[in-house]
Structure 1
Amino acid sequence: MRVLLVSPGFHGYHSAISAALVARGHDVTTHVYDDHGGLAGRTWHQLRHQLPHRVGAGSLRRLAREETTRAAAMVDQTRPQAVLVVKGDRLGEQFWAAIRRVPRITWLYDELRRTQWTSERLQPLGPVATYSALDAADLHAAGLDVRHVPLAFDHRLVPTPTRRRDQPVTFVGARYPSREHVLAALVAEGVPVRAYGRDWSGHPVDRLRTWRVGAPSIPAGRDRSRAEAYDLMTASVATLNLHGDQDGFTMRTFEAAGTGAVELIDRADVEGLYEPGVEVLPWSQPDELVELCRRSMADRAWTDTIRAAARSRTLAEHTFDHRVAVLEDAWDTA
């Protein structure tokens, strides 16, 4: 079918979803609804929308209207036979009206409370998929057509990850207080650790991008592309997957395992996706995490078996191809 994929640009995951749809025989057009068009466009976006919003001089409603108009125009232009919307909470009625008679599904990679969605707003928009098992249960109870669809690994991005072991324990991702607390505890115990991302970096450009003056004391590097992050995790002694206040499993859950990294995950309920202690290494207390880090540094034979098992399970069950097959089934009921 002619499929229109409407997605935010978040880390380029739309490319993985598009490739999975193409692999299933579809003709895919991707519309990135928050694409601002290169460096000049991003700068203008910051000045026109983000800066006034941050200083309390304006809202983001105008931005939402512009994104909605562009997305609706893309529907008219492509005349899709099916539509997959990723997140989409900033898109207004003009867009949803344009796809009302088209088979469709909306896939959420965040909890409802962190988006502009409500069950009432989602009710008339067609099938919903969510990475959150709790949200799936609540939406089902509210009468929505909903599926629990976890996130996934982009196995096409780095088909053969690096096999170096020259990086310390790493964390790749946004900086939140709970995550900073974990990394600081490891540093205090003498565990070599390094965080990557613009929120951690002390580089002047990253401080400007994140509207801050200082930087945390944790050793840090700048942003990495997704491909670079995949190789970085694999090249690490072990890599951290830190959730905090989330019930859905992050993309990193599947990416770290899929690249063949030693994944230190702060979730004991990962069973069902991965086998704890065999494919991933859960922990709940700081001393457990420290012990796992030290064993990962000392026992390569042990970690090699974990790396192989994690990658094998991911490629067999947790790629975007697997997820798209589930999403595709929902179009029949739209």
Structure 2
Amino acid sequence: MRPPERTRRILLVTPVFHGYWRAIRDALQARGHTVVVHCYDASANLRQRVQNKVVHEIPGTAPARSAQREICDRALAALRDSRPDALLVVKADLLGERWWQAVADARVPTVLWLYDELARIDYSLETLREIDSIVSYSPRDVARLQAEGIDATYLPDGFDSLAGFVPRPTPAATFVGARYPVRERLMRKLADAGIPVKAFGREWSRHPWDIARTRQFTNPGIPTGPDLPRSDYYGVMAGSLAALNIHGDDHDGFTMRTFEAPGVGGLHLVDRADVDRYYDVGTETLVFTSPEELVDHVARARKEPRWANAIREAGKARTLAEHTLVHRMGTVVARWR
């Protein structure tokens, strides 16, 4: 049984990002804490939608700097009004130096959670040195930060075990996420082998609005679906013939999908052999190191559902026992000093 933690009033400052703010909030509340949430890139009105678009699409310009100041102002108001005992900041490179100076002045125990590689986030080492504690999903970045004398800890992603979902029977190997060339090639390889496939996400979607906003004019040549709310794609993974998790070569951390696919009871197929630090390969999850091996795994799942179901059940049990976001928040809580 988990020992009781000191109850805190936590301010969670986070991007909207597929509603993961709810998952983090719920995990902290499940551990007994009170949580106030500020989504710094929320688009509650047209002005805020325009500000977010300007900041991301024309960074460094005068309109972008003006929008960034207003976004930071709203975060500063949340910090002032909530009077937190502890602060969990997720990514937040958009907020800038003025935000971090205010956090330092407030003297609130703070953890910064980075769910992406530093190479894709706008932080200087000088800024990171001033933050109480950093947790990152990237082992490579943690090693780099520690070598620089920065307080950094590895924190893998996890499964939102508190989210409700309904399995959606989908007799296909599915992929949910961004459309990258390596992912497209693997999905086509499966389709060419006679295995039904379906990819979900706005970059895959053939809806005219999605094509216009993503500029993905070429058809991937496989069945596709739109961007899905998280509860819906949990249902898709749970009901799929197989749930694919394709990282490619540019990630050294494991995505949320690594824990979500087995967590919902999906047959998880991942392209990373080092997933064995979390799951027993072959009994709790499946690894593929080539397109041919991927085809073989999915073909066997079609022919041997009892074999596939045993892996589903074991992977789900392991996830719920060790890899939920409630578990992960224990690491965050321990960093508040």
The residue that corresponds to 1:87 in the other structure is 91
- Post-superposition shift, 1:167? 2.5
The residue that corresponds to 1:13 in the other structure is 20
The residue that corresponds to 1:23 in the other structure is 30
For 1:130, give the aligned amino acid.
S
- Identify the match of residue 195 of structure 1 among 193, 199, 217: 199
The 1:180–1:102 alpha-carbon spacing in structure 2 relative to 1, beyond 3 Å, is: same
- Post-superposition shift, 1:33? 0.4
Secondary structure (helix, strand or coil) at the match of 1:150 reads coil
Contact 2:10–2:87 (CA under 8 A) maintained in structure 1: yes
- 2: CA distance, partners of 1:282 / 1:50: 35
Q: 1:165-216: per-residue Cα shift (whole Å, max 9, x none)? A: 5430000001111211211222222221110011001100111221343432
Secondary structure (helix, strand or coil) at the match of 2:130 reads helix
Contact 1:112–1:118 (CA under 8 A) maintained in structure 2: no
Contact 2:170–2:236 (CA under 8 A) maintained in structure 1: no
The residue that corresponds to 1:63 in the other structure is 67
> Does 2:252 correspond to 1:247?
yes
Q: 1:93-147: per-residue Cα shift (whole Å, max 9, x none)? A: 2211222111010001011101112333211122000001111111111101111
Structure 1 gaps of 5+ residues are none
- Post-superposition shift, 1:260? 0.6
Secondary structure (helix, strand or coil) at the match of 2:93 reads coil
- Identify the match of residue 3 of structure 1 among 4, 7, 10: 10
TM-score calculated relative to the size of structure 2 = 0.92
Return structure 1 stretches of 4+ with deviation > 4 angstroms.
45-51, 56-59
The 1:47–1:137 alpha-carbon spacing in structure 2 relative to 1, beyond 3 Å, is: closer
Q: Name the count of aligned residue pairs.
A: 327
The residue that corresponds to 2:313 in the other structure is 308
Secondary structure (helix, strand or coil) at the match of 2:95 reads coil
The 1:117–1:44 alpha-carbon spacing in structure 2 relative to 1, beyond 3 Å, is: closer
- Post-superposition shift, 1:264? 0.7
Which residues of 2 match residues 1-334 of structure 1 at below 5 A? 1-37=8-44, 40=46, 44-45=50-51, 53=58, 60-100=64-104, 101-158=107-164, 161-162=166-167, 165-244=169-248, 245-332=250-337
- 1: CA distance, partners of 2:257 / 2:56: 27
Contact 1:202–1:214 (CA under 8 A) maintained in structure 2: no
- 1: CA distance, partners of 2:67 / 2:157: 28
How much identity, in percent, do the aligned residues show? Answer: 44
- 1: CA distance, partners of 2:20 / 2:220: 28
- 1: CA distance, partners of 2:270 / 2:65: 37
- 1: CA distance, partners of 2:52 / 2:215: 11
Let me know the Cα RMSD of the aligned residues. Answer: 1.9
Structure 2 gaps of 5+ residues are 1-7
Secondary structure (helix, strand or coil) at the match of 1:168 reads strand
